[in-house]
Amino acid sequence: MSTRLLLLLYLTGHVFAQKSPDVDCLVVNLEYISCTWNKTGTPEVNYTFYSKLGNDQWKICNHYLTENNMNIGCNQPGDRFKTFKTRLIYGNNNFEKSHELKKQVKLNPPTNLTVLNGSDFNLWFYWNYTSPAPLHCVESEVRFRTNNNNWDFSKVSAGIQKYCINLPSSSSRYELQVRNRVDDTCGESIFWSDWSEPVVWASNNSTYSDDSMSPWTPVMYVVGAITLILLAMILLHHERLRIILVPVVPKPSPFLHNIEDWFQFSKGLKDNFKPNYNERACPVREYNYVSQSDVVSSDGSTCSVTTDQTDCSIEQDPEDLSAPIPSNPVSSEEVQKASV
């Protein structure tokens, strides 16, 4: 019984000690392929690494990466469009794996990031690539922030190595970083490069500092508070202004009341709205012009067709300044002769 237990423990330990290593490969800057097998920790044994590219033969690793004197990776040349197989061997154990490297590319970050204040008063940023890929195969992404606020991101098309910030503020501080990857038309890489070293631009006349609050801020707060209090006092004491700014919503009730009672006006204000003068309505009369020939040729009776010569309902006031009433209506023919 005890021997069986011991045997079982030995086999279990053996299995756990020889768990399958997981190889991860990455194409670095389109220059070489870097494979590592220390994702779950430093391996306990020294594996021998072989790789096979396309239809070539298996090749042993010439350049191992080590950690604590144990082999953890290998760099070798390669082509990401070809099939790539790896093999880790230790004793009789052989772990083989196939890799799809076309999209497993990570470029080096852009270098020589510089900033220039252009003659067009815009801010121009320029950078360089270090990968052997043609320019039309590399797309970029920039991120910039103003005065240490949140980052803004922007994509830059393949082949372009500059970025412009329009009309920068002379009192602001601009910080920009760039990263790149292989373009879609050349086999898009799923990894972006690391961000480049940042470049900062601030105008010489800028008094901006990294302090979060300027000395004028508390002054502005105090002035704003005082203004608010004064405004409240003015509103309380000037009823007319208050009613204009904050009109009272009338409360209709089922009982018929005087409409003026709906509004909570003071007596003085109510009296101000009562009229203290009388205005007389001006009489309006309509006249039709009658020609002289018609009047003469008639049988003497006046064929006046005026609608109303007198207005008996309203007394004529000599001081009335209403529209004058013509005493002799003139015919249209006589008017035409006079104008000629």
Partner 1 sequence: MKLIVFCLFTVYCCSLVKASPLERKKLQEVLRELKMLKRDLPNTELMMNTPPKDIEDCCCLTALTCFRETLLEHFGISGKYQKKLYKSLNHTLTINGLNFCNTETSTNNCSTCHSHPKEKASEFFNRLESLVQRVRLFQIYFRKLYIKY
In angstroms, give the least distance from the CB of 181 to partner 1. 13
- Whichever of 186 and 295 has its CB closer to partner 1, that residue is 186
Give the 3-state secondary structure of the chain. CHHHHHHHHHHHHHHHHCCCCCCEEEEECCCEEEEECCCCCCCCCCCEEEEEECCCCCEECCCEEEECCEEEEEEECCCCCCCEEEEEEECCEEEEEEECCCCCEECCCCEEEEEEECCCCCEEEEEECCCCCCHHHEEEEEEEEECCCCCEEEEECCCCCEEEECCCCCCCEEEEEEEEEECHHHCCCCCCCCCCCCEEEECCCCCCCCCCCCCHHHHHHHHHHHHHHHHHHHHHHCHHHHHHHCCCCCCCCCCCCCHHHHCCCCHHHHHHCCCCCCCCCCCCCCCCCCCHHHHHHCCCCCCCCCCCCCCCCCCCCCCCCCCCCCCCCCCHHHHHHHHC
Residues 74, 61 contacting (CB under 8 angstroms): yes
Cβ nearer to partner 1, comparing 52 with 242: 52
* Comparison of 83 and 148: residue with beta carbon closer to partner 1: 83
Nearest distance from C-beta of residue 175 to partner 1, angstroms? 33
Q: Report the residue number, 27 or 199, with the smaller CB distance to partner 1.
A: 27
Least separation in angstroms between residue 82's CB and partner 1 is: 5
Burial (CB count <10 Å: 0-12, 13-18, 19+), residue 28:
middle
Give least dist CB 182 to partner 1, A. Answer: 8
Nearer to partner 1, 157 or 205 (CB): 157
Answer for the pair 70, 48: CB distance below 8 angstroms, yes or no.
Answer: no
Q: Which is nearer to partner 1, 72 or 107 (CB)?
A: 107
Report, in Å, the least distance between residue 60 CB and partner 1: 21
User: Shortest Cβ distance from residue 22 to partner 1 (Å)?
Assistant: 23
CA 251 – CA 262 distance, rounded (Å): 7
Choice between 187 and 283, CB closer to partner 1: 187
Nearer to partner 1, 175 or 183 (CB): 183
Q: Which residue has the tokens 């007596």?
A: 267
Least gap, CB of 187 to partner 1 (angstroms): 4
**Applying CB under 8 A, which residues contact partner 1?**
54-55, 81-83, 102, 132-134, 136-137, 182, 184-187
Between 92 and 98, name the residue whose CB sits nearer to partner 1: 98
Q: Are strands 105-106 and 24-28 parallel, antiparallel or unpaired?
A: parallel
CB 77, min distance to partner 1, A: 14
Q: How far is the CB of 127 from partner 1 (least distance, A)?
A: 20
